[in-house]
Structure 1
Amino acid sequence: MTALADLPDYAALRRRTDAPPGSSWGLFGAGDQAGTLNFLALNDLPGAAREVREGTAFSLDLPSTAISPSLAPTRRPIEHHVFQRTPFHRDEWLDSFYPQYGSQLDGLRHIGHPEHGFYNGADARRFVPGDELLSIHHLADLPIAGRAVLLDVDRHLRARGRPIDARSSRAITARELEDTRAAQGTQVRPGDIVLIRFGWLRWYLHEADPHVRESLRTVQRHPGLAQSHDVLAWLWDHRVSLVAGDNFALECWPAAPSSPFFTRAERDEGARDPHSGIMHRALIGLLGMPLGELWHLDPLADACAADERWSFLLTVSPLSIVGGVGSPANAMALR
């Protein structure tokens, strides 16, 4: 395992010959299960606790009924059943519970690289219930807690007369992330968790009509991070431990035609699948960076804007399911 202080920058990762180019494989240890969440060791937890000044807390999770219909054709809303043994007792069970349906955390089993495989060369044949390899329960065991910052890209661009069209696949560049950070006067420190607000969820919850929501079930389109090595460099070189956003896939969807993450066959032969060109392949599969999606950031963003302070203590508590792929986020920000 390479000492955290001695890890190469992203440009050097792209020159690797001992592992897939652009990967962190082996740098956190051959048997690593946490990926970039290892950077939490750089996060000053007592210092993060001092970010709690106003004494306010914000749940970043949507209610279970907020996303309707499903945004993914392979996921269905939960079926919630309540039963009783006596008139003064209630119990319950869930059917069709998809842990990545709403406000979610993508674990390291979720997406691999089509040419190199899953993070750290993990054997995907072991991705079955009960097997611990790259299981989400390792992230629950850490646990995930530390200083976090919010980059309110939507608010920043709107103030400059360049609002994001929530119905578009607008790509947010590394330059725009950095411009937002600088305009807010926010420091991103090693080990920080970075939350990015695109404004998409506010549009979805309060402006999109039922017909538009229904169309998103089959034709997904939304703004998000640009598929680019510059974005990966910004995240890795800042030693970001986890990144999350308020849209469906964190990155813009569908992948831009200019994405560098198309495989050779996809680019040259036109072979495509629903994940063609997406940056998840590099973020999760190569760097080992867990992702958060559909996080409810609007009330937190309004509070941050009111006192122009964009850092806080954040906890994330994924379900401790051995063999799990992802989980509801169970995220809370404290200011």
Structure 2
Amino acid sequence: MPEDKQVPTYAELRARTDAPAGSAWGIFGADDEVGTLNHLTPRQVRAAATLVRTGEVINLNLPLETFDPPVSPYRKSLRHHMYSNYPYHRDEYLDSFYPQASTQIDGFRHIGHPEFGFYNGTSPDRFQPHDPVLGINRFTERGIAGRGVLIDVDRYRRAQGRPIDHAAGEAIGLGDITGAAARQQVDLLPGDILLIRTGWMHRHLNELSPEQRDEEKKGMRLSGLRAAEDTVAWLWDHRFAMLATDNFSVEAFPPPVDSPFLTDKERRGEVSHFSYRGAMHNVLIALLGLPLGELWNLDDLAARCAADGNWDCLIVSTPLNLTGGTGSPANAVAIR
């Protein structure tokens, strides 16, 4: 995409008649497969490289085996096997390796819209292993490197004396996100890789017992961003390249029963009442082509940013080059 190409506002996308209303299909090209990663132009990457102040590299990934059992009931625990063919040799293999079970990135095959289908109208008939169309491999081929901006909503809410209610699965409104950004005095620029820290992961791993974690997973009420039109409009109109958070699903889960993203078919009960019914994922990934990162380890980065007041850095992520993959471990670092 040319660096000076004008991108429609979300309101203009909502008024489209040449494609699904509210979609970015065709905006980056009829055959586009990377969506808003197109905002990561060479200009943005060059500018991001100037943010390296100390050369400190901060890991943003949890170990692959962190969630055992996984938060999602549809996944199994990772099993790591090692073997040797002779005393000074080791090799290994993995069983039940779910690429999206720990710190990860959702690819565009992961979620489609219940009415309009997958990003840019791509036919799911192509969604087979070894077929590269709309696979996570496209992100790897394109590359993910740019200016990362951390918004620490958890720190902001605690400073106000109203910590996020993770136990109740609180939906975090846009006002708290913009309020935290304003308090940090951080500029938000086109092409930014937006990182939002909610504190969910820190609480889940450090403050809950294994029994409490299991109990909360049974109810599957998880805090996250509020599924709302103003959230989507804000994300799109800022032209973020990607959004990553430290919680399980970016948005609060399950989606609200009155979600604005319910389709008419879903409201009439013509679509199965599955867990993604009315989810903001269906719009962000399938209609807008915005890559989402989940379960990113943002605690160390947040501590460094709070200490020196610099909330931006260079982010580099290299998803697995898995042809036709639906998602991948993030393999992400922040360089400050």
The bucket for the TM-score relative to the shorter chain is over 0.9
5 Å-filtered alignment, 1:192-207, equals 192-207=192-207
1:59 is aligned to 59
Q: Tell me, yes or no, if the aligned pair for 2:3 and 2:41 is still in contact at 8 Å.
A: no
Distance 1:160 1:43 in 2: 37
1:44 is aligned to 44
1:288 is aligned to 289
Shift of 1:2: 8.4
Shift of 1:43: 5.2
1:326 is aligned to 327
Distance 1:195 1:4 in 2: 25
Distance 1:43 1:128 in 2: 35
- After TM superposition, the score normalised by the length of structure 2 is 0.96
5 Å-filtered alignment, 1:93-132, equals 93-132=93-132
- After TM superposition, the score normalised by the length of structure 1 is 0.97
Distance 2:43 2:90 in 1: 42
Q: Tell me, yes or no, if the aligned pair for 1:42 and 1:190 is still in contact at 8 Å.
A: no
Q: Tell me, yes or no, if the aligned pair for 1:108 and 1:136 is still in contact at 8 Å.
A: yes
Shift of 1:227: 0.4
Q: Tell me, yes or no, if the aligned pair for 2:169 and 2:222 is still in contact at 8 Å.
A: yes
Shift of 1:28: 0.6
Unaligned 5+ segments in structure 1 are none
2:86 is aligned to 86
Per-residue CA deviations over 1:66-85 (Å, capped at 9, x if unaligned) read: 21221111111221110101
Shift of 1:263: 2.0
1:184 is aligned to 184
Shift of 1:168: 1.9
1:163 is aligned to 163
Q: Tell me, yes or no, if the aligned pair for 2:167 and 2:216 is still in contact at 8 Å.
A: no
Distance 1:162 1:287 in 2: 33
Q: Tell me, yes or no, if the aligned pair for 1:109 and 1:118 is still in contact at 8 Å.
A: yes
Unaligned 5+ segments in structure 2 are none
Q: Tell me, yes or no, if the aligned pair for 2:62 and 2:102 is still in contact at 8 Å.
A: yes
2:150 is aligned to 150
5 Å-filtered alignment, 1:130-141, equals 130-141=130-141
**SS of match in other structure, 1:31:** coil
Q: What code does the residue aligned with 1:52 have?
A: V
Shift of 1:219: 2.3
Distance 1:216 1:41 in 2: 41
Are residues 1:312 and 2:313 paired? yes
Percent identical residues: 49
Shift of 1:55: 2.2
Per-residue CA deviations over 1:51-103 (Å, capped at 9, x if unaligned) read: 11122111110012221221111111221110101101001111111100100
Shift of 1:256: 1.7
Q: What code does the residue aligned with 2:49 have?
A: A
Distance 1:107 1:318 in 2: 10
Shift of 1:149: 0.1
Distance 1:314 1:288 in 2: 20
Shift of 1:267: 2.3
Q: Tell me, yes or no, if the aligned pair for 1:128 and 1:323 is still in contact at 8 Å.
A: yes
Distance 2:4 2:206 in 1: 43
Distance 1:318 1:2 in 2: 25
Q: Tell me, yes or no, if the aligned pair for 1:69 and 1:213 is still in contact at 8 Å.
A: no
Q: Tell me, yes or no, if the aligned pair for 1:43 and 1:191 is still in contact at 8 Å.
A: no
Per-residue CA deviations over 1:3-49 (Å, capped at 9, x if unaligned) read: 76311100110111100111000011111010110010175222211
Cα distance 1:115–1:43, how it changes in 2: closer, same or farther (>3 A)?
farther
